[in-house]
Copies of this chain bind each other. A is one copy, B any other.
Amino acid sequence: MREGLIESLAEETGSKILLAVMDGLGDITVPELEGMTPLEAARTPNLDRMAAEGALGQHVPIAHGVTPGSGPAHLALFGYDPVSSCVGRGVLAALGIGFDLQQGDLAARINFCTIDEDGVVTDRRAGRISTEKCRELVGLLQDIEVEGAEVFVRPVKEHRACVVFRGEGLDDRLADTDPGLVGRPPRDVEAGAPEAEDTASTVRSFIERAGEILSGLQPANFLLLRGFAVHEPFPSFEDRFSLRAGAAALYPMYRGVSALAGMDLLECSTLEEEVEAARKAASEGYTFVFLHHKPTDSSGEDGNAAAKVSAVEGFDAVVPDIVRAGFDVICVTGDHSTPCPMKLHSWHPVPLLVHGGPQRTGFSDAFSERQAMTGALGTFPADEIMGLLLGSAGKLRKYGA
């Protein structure tokens, strides 16, 4: 990526871009699918029509051989250098629930857990308590006061919550307190640098007070903190690309990374509602919408090829509505590959489809890894996709005379 180039050329226009991400889309050949990938095996008449009318290629999320987490993979799709723009999970969790994080805030993820009378963790998720129960527990922690910072506790989902400390000079070089395994006590909030000692005591005080309050409850009688991260705001989509951007995503993680890029979080709770939210946003002056589809990744992580085929077909079913939603350029891709035979994220290049704008069409008739690897767009780094979409939508001035 040539730093600052796209930003220097981007201009505000009325054209609209949709970036639709099937999470973990890329795969490898699967024996039970007769040597096809799930994307090849899926019946996708609508995506195939888009492929015929558009152009294919494949992107490399971070670098060849490097398996990305969802955070950096999405930052790359959004045109941020995924290495220099690394961000901690605590920040994504807080932003993902719409918390108005300020520069310098220290955020961490909370898991409510169960400990026994010796203080040993017996369930790291407290039996996956309900979201309602989570809200109730968070309510009990609202009034905790500690020296050195203001504290905000917010529910997320089931046993998950998050905490934000607001104060001067907070430092995120702190170790997770989650021991990672049951049968061990929670870890201490260890400072990874002398400058982080004060923050460590602040966090320790919070955990002590919370422990006192939760003590005696069941099953959630303690909490584990992880993913400490101080918030440093990113330059927004609006500042960088002159785009008014919205995000239609169901999971906090993806809402968080969208918020980090300055996107507005659109209301939705199903794929159909995501598409409707995108359509509405386009009609209301948004010029960019990110739409996220999770089941392709979950089924890949489960190693369930048939479920991944269904997840792709489920997305294909809403493609006609996506095409009619008023966008000039539509990109369909994944953030990374999650091959079913691996049951993990992987480093494999990810198929990419760009529809709309003056594409070099006529070289593909189906959306698949096989056609993407020989597609008109070639193979290129994920953080160059935004430039391609802006250019396709006529939003980049000519460079030089």
Is A129's beta carbon under 8 Å from chain B? no
Q: A2-B62, A68-B400, A399-B69 are in contact. Are A35 and B227 (CB under 8 A)?
A: no
- CB of A376 within 8 Å of the partner chain: yes
- B residues within 8 A CB of A363? 370, 373
Q: Are A389 and B65 in contact (CB under 8 A)?
A: yes
Q: Does A324 contact B (CB under 8 A)?
A: no
Task: Give Cα A119–Cα B62 distance, bound, in whole angstroms.
Answer: 58
Hey, what's the 0/1 contact readout for A348-385 against B, CB within 8 Å counting as 1? 11000000001111110000011001111111100011
Interface membership of A318, Cβ < 8 A: no
With contact pairs A66-B9, A391-B67, A392-B65 given, residues A342 and B362 touching in the complex (Cβ less than 8 Å): no
How far, in angstroms, from A88 to B400 measured CA to CA in the complex?
Answer: 8
Residue A15 is within 8 A (CB to CB) of chain B in the complex: no
Closest to A379 in B: B378
Determine if A1 and B63 form an interchain contact, defined as CB atoms under 8 angstroms apart: yes
Q: Does A193 contact B (CB under 8 A)?
A: no
Which residues from B are CB-within-8-Å of A71? 400-401
Report how many residues on chain A are interfacial, defined by Cβ distance under 8 Å: 67
Interchain CA distance A227-B82 in the complex, whole Å: 37
Whether A380 lies near B379 (C-beta < 8 A) is yes
Contact present for B66 and A387 (CB under 8 Å): yes
B391 in contact with A82 (CB, 8 Å): no
Q: A68-B398, A401-B70 are in contact. Are A369 and B360 (CB under 8 A)?
A: yes
Taking CB atoms, residues of chain B closer than 8 Å to A374 are 373-374
Q: Is the CB of A28 within 8 A of B64?
A: no
- Contact partner, A396, options B2, B66, B373, B388, Cβ 8 Å: B66
Instruction: Decide yes or no whether A182 CB sits under 8 A from chain B.
Output: no
Complex CA gap A141/B377 in Å reads 51
Q: Which residues of B contact A134 (CB under 8 A)?
A: none
- Of listed A6, A62, A378, A385, residue having the most chain B CB within 10 A: A378
* In the complex, A217 has a CB within 8 A of chain B: no
- Are the C-beta atoms of B358 and A369 separated by less than 8 Å? no
Q: How far is the CA of A401 from the CA of B226 in the complex (A)?
A: 12
**A379 interface neighbour in B5, B341, B379, Cβ under 8 Å:** B379
| A339 contacts chain B at the CB level, 8 A cutoff | yes
A65 touching B388, Cβ below 8 Å: yes
Indicate whether A155 reaches chain B with its CB closer than 8 angstroms.
no
- Please measure, in the bound complex, the distance between the C-alpha atom of A73 and the C-alpha atom of B349, giving whole angstroms: 24
Q: With contacts A28-B358, A29-B361, A341-B358 known, is A67 near B398, CB below 8 A?
A: yes
Given A60-B378, A64-B385, A65-B391, decide whether A72 and B399 contact each other with a Cβ distance below 8 A.
yes
Complex alpha-carbon distance, A64 and B401, angstroms: 18
Q: How far is the CA of A380 from the CA of B65 in the complex (A)?
A: 12
What are 15 sample pairs from A and B whose C-beta atoms fall under 8 A apart? A6-B63, A6-B66, A9-B66, A28-B361, A58-B378, A65-B384, A65-B387, A67-B399, A82-B400, A227-B401, A341-B358, A348-B358, A348-B376, A349-B376, A377-B379
Q: Which 4 A-B pairs have the closest CB atoms?
A: A378-B379, A65-B391, A65-B387, A69-B400
